Amino acid sequence: MVRMAPLLLLIALAGCVTKPHDPLHTPTDFTADVTVLAGKNADTRREPWMRQGKMILFSDGTVLADLGPTMHARTRPGKSRVLYQQQVLQMWELARTLGFASPDLANFEGNPDLLEAADGELLYVLTFSSGSQRWVFVSRCPVQQGPDEATGQWVRAMAEAAFLRELPEDRILPTRYDFGPDPYAWFKKPGA
């Protein structure tokens, strides 16, 4: 029994040793959310990172994404694809490299759902969360100029992860036609 005491002590101490923090380790609850809002007369671009849309990456690799004028900060788009954990790790490392992985560097406090893009402007809202923290980066730019380098690189990576592609030049976007008078006008009060 006396001979086993040092061995038991060694096993007990080995259990107390914590692993060193791995800076490349993806937090188990990391999420990234990108909302692109296009102001009036700012819907002329064909690149997915410069069109109004929403992209969400969850820590399990699920990517939700959609583009279009109905997308806004409170929209939850449909499932686009699922990334491997190695790909999620690469996205986290890209966020770290671009300076988006630290809550201390966030440049917006408040409710991002209340933000609106001005005429001819693209508004980028990048929301990250991990643990009990949530932090937001906001970037505004004229539609002709495009976003700053870090924001553009992150939104482009999110669009590629969601399989969103650039529209070809010869692609004509669908036009909604007016199908006549309002069929519910009869039920409305006069002057409403």
> pTM here?
0.73
The model's pLDDT over 36-55, given as tens digits with 9 standing for 90+, comes to 999 888 777 778 888 889 99
Sequence-ordered list of residues with C-beta below 8 angstroms from that of 87, at least 6 positions apart, any chain: 61, 161
Q: Which two tokens stand for residue 49?
A: 């990172």
Cα–Cα dist 65/163, whole Å = 9
Mean pLDDT across the chain = 81
pLDDT at 154 over 90: yes
Q: Are 124 and 151 in contact (CB under 8 A)?
A: yes
Cα–Cα dist 141/121, whole Å = 6
Class of domain 31-166: alpha beta
Cα–Cα dist 42/34, whole Å = 18
Average pLDDT for residues 60-88, to the nearest whole number?
90
Q: For residue 32, what pLDDT band results from cuts at 50, 70 and 90?
A: very high
Amino acid at 26: T
Domain boundaries, given as residue ranges, for the chain: 31-166
- Tell me the CA end-to-end span of the chain in Å, nearest whole number: 91
Q: What is the CA radius of gyration of the chain?
A: 23
Q: Which of 66-75, 98-107, 168-177 has the lowest mean pLDDT?
A: 168-177
Amino acid at 178: D
pLDDT at 23 over 70: no
